[in-house]
Chain A
Amino acid sequence: MSRGSHTKWLRALLVFCAPASVLAEPASHVASPTSIFAPASTPAQSIFGLSMFVLAVVGGVFVVVFPLLAYSVVKFRDRHNDDHSEPPQIYGSNQVELAWIVVPILIVVGLFLATAHVIASIQNVTPPSGSTEVVVIGHQYWWEYRYPDLKIVTANELHVPVSDPAHPTPTFLTLLSADTDHSFWVPRLAGKTDLIPNHPNRMWIDPHEAGLFLGQCAQYCGTQHAKMLLRVYVQPREEFERWVRDQRQPANASSASSGISSGKRVFESTACTNCHTISGTAANGRFGPDLTHLMSRDTIAAGAAPNTPENLRLWIRNPDAIKPGSKMPAMGLSDQDVNALTAFLETLH
């Protein structure tokens, strides 16, 4: 089915569904970058198809039972001109009872078969050749991405190639956690899957259109669970390959000006190196995001703030100002050092 007919279906069906779903009908027209009803990748699409089916069925149950209830409440309410006699007493009926056992059983069987089919179609998939492998590691309040085949390490902003349905080039994600449970959820691309320590999970996406897809961590993981945002950049093949090439360069910290080299010195002589990696320097910590190509990212701190010099400065001075409770400590540096540091970080393209 095409997108268009899906939307028509959706509209037709939802009008009948529970009041809540009736409300979802206008809602699906509200521009929401995270709506589950605007799928852009096969897993999300098959889920969408199933959702419509399930909603139609339960909507059907609803349109039968709700009016029945309403009718009987209105019809049989006590009138005031009544003679106060008791109505005839009816104790039950086996035939009727049987009817409302059998019909729901049939409905349940139908729902179950459709669901089982979609489960298998999403879960039992082996990566075709031409797919990209990414290891996603959840950390308290940020995302680490490793491309084992491409030898790239980056953070918070996932880049994947667009996948033409005719020649699918899906991306397979291996989901790990470094600390507590997290969940990877980009609604337009796929359903969520948890990242659990000691319990590797797999999921896959094959985005059909280029663009930026948003989401966020969907399993409570601690204080800043709310600001563990997800950004997936889906790029046309060439653009993706250019990005890969850039990421594989060493950091081009050409310490041209003295401000930058002093920034580098500050960086290397403070605890930054314990937690962060910048390839080509002594820093190889893994507790915080890899900063080698920090400037290639649009945001810092897992999407909590745009990547601007002011925000960087604010972040280094006091991470809590942007993300209270984040695991990066305020280092208590002088203004001068902070400025130098920022200038240095600004060179990490």
Chain B
Amino acid sequence: METECPECAGTVSIAAPEKGEIVECPECGVELEVVSVSPPALALAPEEEEDWGE
């Protein structure tokens, strides 16, 4: 699968994509989530929030 990074518009190639998979854009380094395989689509991966519970 080859598609565009939503952050920098660079090209991201993924050999065997799976929905939900987290990948890194080779051009800008941002982490991306595969939100669709057909048609291919990437979104910025969820950010990490802090929570004080235990």
* Pairing of A with B: no
**B-contacting residues of A (Cβ < 8 Å)?**
none
Task: Give residues in B with beta carbon < 8 Å to A.
Answer: none
